Amino acid sequence: MEWSFVIEKLILVFIIFVVTLLIAMYSTLAERKIAGFMQDRYGPDRAGLFGILQPLCDGGKFFFKEEIIPAGAHKALFILGPTIAIITACISSAVIPWGQELQIGDRTISLQVADVNVGILYMFGVIALGVYGIMLGGWASNNKFSLMGAIRAASQSISYEIAMGLSIIALLMVTQSLSLKEIVAQQSGFVNWNIWAQPLGFIIFMVCAFAECNRVPFDLPECETELVGGYHTEYSSMKLGLYMFSEYINMFVSSALMASLYFGGYNFPFMNDLGLSANMITILGVVVFFIKILLFIFFFMWVRWTLPRFRYDQLMNLGWKMLIPLAIANIVLTGVFTLIKDTYFS
Amino acid sequence: MQLTNRKKVIEQKPMTFAERIYFPAIVKGLRITLRHFFKKIPTIKYPEEIRPYSKNFRGQHSLKRDEEGRERCTACGLCALSCPAEAITMTAAERKKGEEHLYREEKYASVYEINMLRCIFCGLCEEACPKEAIYLDGPHVTADYLRKDFIYGKDKLVEPTFDITKLKS
Ligand code: SF4
Ligand code: SF4
């Protein structure tokens, strides 16, 4: 391994890290702005122009709040909880291909941090780890409400991970590859996007992504409004901030994942017919990819300010009795279609 | 027996398939919120933007001066008497020699206080005053931290002196 390669990757990691944090920061503002607009009001607009400085003020406020660790809490685990949450949220974006190759001089720079050939499995592993952050935090608080919130969160995540995995299996049957780079590269242009081949799979995946990110209508782990908060009841100051932050980062990463699995990632219509240079296509592709991600984030928020929360039994019913059978049916259907296509139309 | 026709029998039908999969309802809800997203926002951003008041809006009181800049109030106490909320208190004093340019009548209010937390802005004081000395023509009473700060004395109530000669030049 050469030094330039390491440096190149480090720069890329740094840029992605900063961009992720920026997007997560401004998601908090966007969330409140969108909530405002959907409820016919402005949302925060006092800090800076249009409230641009609001996230900074919130962050600053979090740092100055008193740091409370409950007397009965398990101190190490109490601190470990939010740490795990934020670390897993940050490292899950490592396998996402942000763009094609960039040609600088005679160097080709791949805009993906790690081209793991089982990229999707890596994603799932990391996302599954995220629930430990919540679980540990809830348990270490030594508070029965936190513990209950954590259990709610854990069982929800586990239930929806199954349906999510099953919906991905159908997708993998179409793409024949586990590498995210490969999957995105296959979807060049517009008609090759996986959403056309897997509409049902996409819907299942999206519903599960909502549940995994603990977003409304599946935000039972938090329940700000009626159930004492959930797993982060005992958290204060920046530790609470980290939990919230990791939620927004998760939202960003799952938007990126949805965009790259089903909506062609950095591909955009007519990308090869416009006669642009390769670098230009790459840069445009990155821009397009981010537009797609932002649209998904907007969708997440749009849903949040539209729907009420599920009851817990409804949540479980939906997960186990609707999504899992649907996902299995989707796999079977995909198999049948692939078989028909391969025998008669190839 | 049914006295009104407002009674509604609620039947609990089992949910239809469309209701059970939630999606039609969700799409409907999303359309509604999206419509609101693009609606004009009725909020008035207060300190920068003040909404138009009606002409007879009753706001904070002001104690008026006459055309020579003298206080009109003669401390007759009719306003305090008419006040249904008992918000007005005052102390009367006699005008001394050489104070004719300050007070119009021989008797004046040395202390005049309105408790803005009691006042209900009914305007009866304005109606009762024989000297046309008090009007509720000010803006809103602003917020404050302590109760005692809501008792407005003459410093806040009396109109600033208005020099008519300067206006002409
Ligand atoms: S407006 Fe009404 S309540 Fe207020 S001081 Fe005058 S008389 Fe009293
Ligand atoms: S404000 Fe008018 S009514 Fe009240 S004490 Fe003065 S003169 Fe009398």
Say yes or no for a CB contact (<8 Å) between B36 and A302.
no
Output the pLDDT for position A308: 86
Say yes or no to pLDDT of B152 above 90.
Answer: yes
Name A227's Cβ contacts closer than 8 Å, sequence gap at least 6. Answer: A145, A149, A220
Tokens 């001394």 locate to B96
Please report how the helices A199-212 and A144-175 are oriented relative to each other, as an axis angle in degrees rounded to 10: 160
Q: What is the predicted ipTM?
A: 0.78
Please choose from B79, B90, B103, B119 the residue to mutate so as to test ligand 2's pocket, defined by most ligand atoms within 8 A of CB.
Answer: B79
Minimum-distance ligand to the CA of B138? Answer: 1
Has B79 been labeled as part of a binding site? Answer: yes
Structure confidence at residue B73 (pLDDT) = 92
Which pLDDT does position A332 carry in this prediction?
94
A116-141 confidence digits (pLDDT tens): 888 888 888 888 888 888 888 888 98
Q: Which residue of B has its CA nearest to A310?
A: B22
pTM value > 0.90: no
Q: In Å, how far are A25, A137, A156, A205 from A285, measured between CA atoms?
A: 24, 39, 35, 24
B24 touches chain A (CB under 8 A): no
**Residue B167 banded pLDDT, cuts 50, 70, 90:** low
| A310-322 pLDDT, tens digit each | 888 888 888 898 8
What is the band of B91 on the pLDDT scale with cuts at 50, 70, 90?
A: very high
Of A272 and A89, the structure prediction assigns the larger pLDDT to A89
Question: Can the peptide bond before residue A217 be classed as cis, meaning omega within 30 degrees of 0?
Answer: yes
pLDDT of residue A191: 82
Atom 6, ligand 2: residue with shortest CA distance: B73
Q: Do A40 and B42 touch (CB under 8 A)?
A: yes
Which residues on B lie below 8 Å from A38 (Cβ)?
33-34, 36-37
Who lines ligand 2 at CB under 6 A? Answer: B 73-79, 128-129, 131, 133-134
Cβ-based contacts of A30 with chain B (< 8 Å): none
Backbone phi and psi for residue B35, each to the nearest 5 degrees, phi listed first: -60, -40
Give, using CA atoms, the residue closest to atom 2 of ligand 1: B122
Integer CA distances (angstroms), A101 to A116, A256, A270, A279, B102, in order: 16, 18, 18, 8, 86
